Amino acid sequence: MTSLLSTFQLTALPPAAAAFRREVKAFLAEHLPELPPEKRARSWMGFNAGFSRALAGRGWVGITLPAQYGGAGLDPFSRFVLVEELLACGAPVSAHWIADRQSGPLILRYGSDEQKAFYLPRICKGEAFFCIGMSEPNSGSDLASVATRAVPEPDGGWRLNGRKIWTTNADRCHYMLALVRTSGNAEDRQRGLSQVIVDLSAPGVTVRPIHDMAGDAHFSEVSFEDVMLPAQALVGREGSGWEQVNAELAFERSGPERLYSSVVLLDTWIAALRRVPEARRDTVTIGRLVARLAVLRAMSLAVTARLAAGESPVVEAALVKDLGTEFEQSIPALAEAALGADPQLAADPGLYRTLAYVSQVAPSYSLRGGTREILRGMIARGLGLR
């Protein structure tokens, strides 16, 4: 019952992963575009296809995929290192992010040989960007209520109708991996759901970008009107979409991206503090944040070790994500208090803009990938309370 607590073991990165970090740092020194902090703060929401293809040139898109498909065949520890380095400097990684983290590993695990041979090399070359079609206008946290439906056609294909929403980068991606209903009806809940790959250039697909409160348009509403999918659009077994999606969420929730969303702001804040007189530095707040990060990083690494061992630590990942996003959200909250207390700090234009951006988008940290309430429900179930 409380075994959940004892699964977090302090884990050191193995030497090979640590050595890999030097390669990543050298690559970034050469290829990272020059960007102001408020742009770097967008990080895994920052889209730069050229940068993603440069990474792909090193085999680092689809980093965990086998070499036969063009991947680097590296373990989850190496992926941890790559992701950590990319996020620490605010690299614009959003173009290939989903394909590398989720779609590629999912196709490798559940896809047919034909699907693997088609999609995986394209992912690894940075030529196939993926988005995820889960949420719908009437289906948010209650994901099992998805109503987008793929109806079987006589030729074995599928006719797709419905709408997806909050789909990150749908307007710039090539494919969507969508959770849709292929059999049964709403009362069947999880049963009858499947995952299909939708070519977003197909007739009947309409993508409408949605602007957010920070002025960006990173997510979209996607409509499907009689979109014809070939038989091979189905990934895995018909009706197994729910379990496949949940396996995917262990990858989605456990990584360092759930700790580092506002790390560019923290670094920008500390750099500005170094320019004000020592007596005016709120060192207690900075020290608490940095020490907190040390523990959260160790927890994330402990989950990575479970992934590397071939396990699916779904509840552990939920626990780290809930703590991690709370930390990510505390940074803008504390920085806002600090800037409002010291005009000299607020006069730093880069810090001011970075803080404003992060404060505005920070609520999304605990929405994307599963809300706080969903995660806490999962933890309670893991503890035997539900």
Show the site string, 76-105: x = touches another protein by CB under 8 A, - = not: --------x--xxx----------------
Among 35, 147, 286, 356, binds another protein (CB under 8 A): 286
Cβ contacts of 113 within 8 Å, gap of 6 or more: none
Q: DSSP strand E in 149-280: where?
A: 149-152, 158-168, 175-181, 193-199, 205-210, 219-229, 234-235
Cβ at position 4, least distance to another protein in Å = 7
Residue 143 to residue 242: CA distance in whole angstroms: 9
Residue 221 three-state SS: strand
CB of 67 or CB of 290, closer to another protein: 290
The DSSP code sequence of 73-110 is: ---HHHHHHHHHHHHHTT---HHHHHIIIIIHHHHHHH
Using alpha carbons, list the distances in angstroms from residue 152 to 24, 110, 234, 240.
46, 20, 11, 16
Cβ at position 316, least distance to another protein in Å = 9
Among 113, 283, 309, 343, binds another protein (CB under 8 A): 283
Residues 307-326 that bind another protein (CB under 8 A): 319, 322-323
CB of 84 or CB of 348, closer to another protein: 84
Cβ at position 309, least distance to another protein in Å = 18
Cβ at position 98, least distance to another protein in Å = 23
Cβ at position 152, least distance to another protein in Å = 39
Q: How far is C-alpha 321 from the geometric centre of its chain's CA atoms?
A: 11
Among 154, 274, 279, 309, binds another protein (CB under 8 A): 274
Q: Where does this chain touch another protein (CB under 8 A) — which range of 10-18, 129-137, 169-177, 200-208?
A: 10-18
Residues 120-179 that bind another protein (CB under 8 A): none
Using alpha carbons, list the distances in angstroms from residue 307 to 12, 36, 89, 363.
14, 35, 25, 28
Residues 202-261 that bind another protein (CB under 8 A): 260
Q: Where does this chain touch another protein (CB under 8 A) — which range of 9-17, 55-63, 99-107, 360-368?
A: 9-17
Kindly list the residues in this chain that would bind another protein in the complex (CB under 8 A).
1-2, 4-6, 8-10, 12-15, 17-18, 84, 87-89, 260, 263, 266-267, 270-271, 273-274, 278, 281-288, 290-299, 302, 319, 322-323, 373, 375-377, 379-380, 383-386
